[in-house]
Amino acid sequence: MLFTEFNLEEAKEIWREEGIEEGIEKGIEKGIEKGIEKGKLETALAMFVDGFSLEKIAHITKLPLKTLKKKLTIQ
């Protein structure tokens, strides 16, 4: 039978490392999503300036109409 000693400090270090890697991965994914949304909003603004309706912009960009109304119109 093989016995090994459980080392709590080593276990904590592994958990921290895995947590950091997971956090970095999630942060990168979130950054990519924000970048995509920013690009869509820039496109939506250009379309709005060119006279496209908010409904048409929402259809093309797949951005929610509510978001477009909030970001593109003066309230």
Q: Tell me which residue of 60, 59, 58, 62 sits closest to 73, measured CA to CA.
A: 58
Structure tokens at 2: 């093989």
Containing 20, the helix (H) or strand (E) segment is helix 8-49
- Band (12; pLDDT cuts 50, 70, 90): confident
- Whether pTM > 0.75 for this model: the answer is no
Which amino acid, 32? I
Predicted confidence (pLDDT) per residue in 21-32, tens digit: 777 778 788 888
Q: Lowest mean pLDDT: which of 4-8, 53-57, 62-66?
A: 4-8
For residue 1, pLDDT over 50 is answered with no
How far is Cα 70 from Cα 63, in angstroms, rounded to an integer? 11
At 53, give phi and psi (nearest 5°): -75, 155
